[in-house]
A = this chain, B = another copy of it.
Amino acid sequence: MANKAFGVINSAPNYIRVEGLHDYRPIGAFTFIGRFRVIDFPLSNMSNSGINRIHVYLNSRPRSLVEHIGSGRHYNINSKRGNLQLLFTQQNGANSIYNTDITAYMENLEQLERMPQDYVIVAPSYMVYKQDFQKLLDDHVEAGNDITLLYHKVDQAKEYYRACNVVELNKQKGVQSLTRNMGTAKDKNISMDTYVMSKDLFIALIKKAKRESSAYSFADIIALSCDTLDIRGYQHKGYFAAITSLDDFYRANMELLDYGTAMDFFKQDWPFYTHTTDACPTHYYPGAKVVNSLVCNAATIEGTVENSIIGRHVHIGKGAIIKNSIILSYSDISDGTYIENAVIDKWVKVKNVKKIVSESVTPAYIKRNDVL
């Protein structure tokens, strides 16, 4: 067990805004392929890696995440020996430049300093990937790095990952620089905002950041430390998604409609845990036609669904056609509606509008609770 490290799960920097969805909940609380929340992935990675002391930093609108995470029992974290702590920040005006992760850490410094572990693993709540942190920690300790930084090599850095940081590496995988992705080239190493270091260095960097500027984020202070610290890159392989825009969110979901990709990501030996709701199975009525889709429980399907993700308790009426779309829980699509390339938020009722189609790459977005 990785009792040598505790985990920190961080919320997204204040400059990241996901159109629509983000108005109602933090990115960590976004529904992912209809069934999970984005934060389930970093939490499960930590739990599966044997980390049982975890700090989750919550920013604005914490209700849905607090409810979802609860006591953390469903993440398989021993409630006596382990502890999943939810930490808040007072400075939570979503757009304030002072609303940084450094501010959040400073406000909870007493909690950080009291952790008995020697190492910390920091991971973001707005990315989806699979990573054995125990292995990452072992490599970090063996290599003797000051900081190990997880990155992913992508070839779509022009269109996507626009709010992420890009890592420049030297031949020894030493991090030369960390800068915002400006979309200047296709091939980039994207920082996964995931770090391993000693607890002491972590706290020292937080304090240093605070001294230098009240608006610094942790990534900023890492960027400034490239010259003075031994920061090493560690390449992540496999499925990776950064939920930093509606486009990214949509694409990240759609990629998992590929059976091979999904089967490689969801493996029995590395379960992803989530809060379950005892929803009954899904009922496919006569006349339903469903292909290449992920369908959650307690849906009732009377119409056609293609290349889509259907959330829990969703109703698809007779003759309705859903294509290339994501329908979140409790939404009700009435008979004969045509929806293509859209993200329908929770509790939406599509009653009178008969067609929702986005012509651009960016999907159409329908607001939570809307009646159309």
Contacts and interface: CB of A to CB of B under 8 A. Distances in A.
Contact of A71 (B70, B88, B90, B369): B70
Nearest to A277: B80
A62 B87 CA distance: 8
A278 B60 CA distance: 33
Contacts of A108: 63
A86 interface: yes
Interface residues of A, number: 21
Interface of A: 60-63, 66-67, 70-71, 73, 80, 85-88, 90, 92, 108, 110-111, 278, 369
Tally of this chain's copies: 2
B63 A66 contact: no
A74 to B, nearest CB: 10
A86 B67 contact: yes
Given A71-B73, A80-B278, A278-B80, A88 B62 contact: yes
A360 to B, nearest CB: 31
A372 to B, nearest CB: 18
6 A-B pairs with least C-beta separation: A71-B71, A70-B71, A66-B86, A63-B88, A62-B88, A63-B87
A73 B71 CA distance: 10
A24 B40 CA distance: 30
Contacts of A80: 278
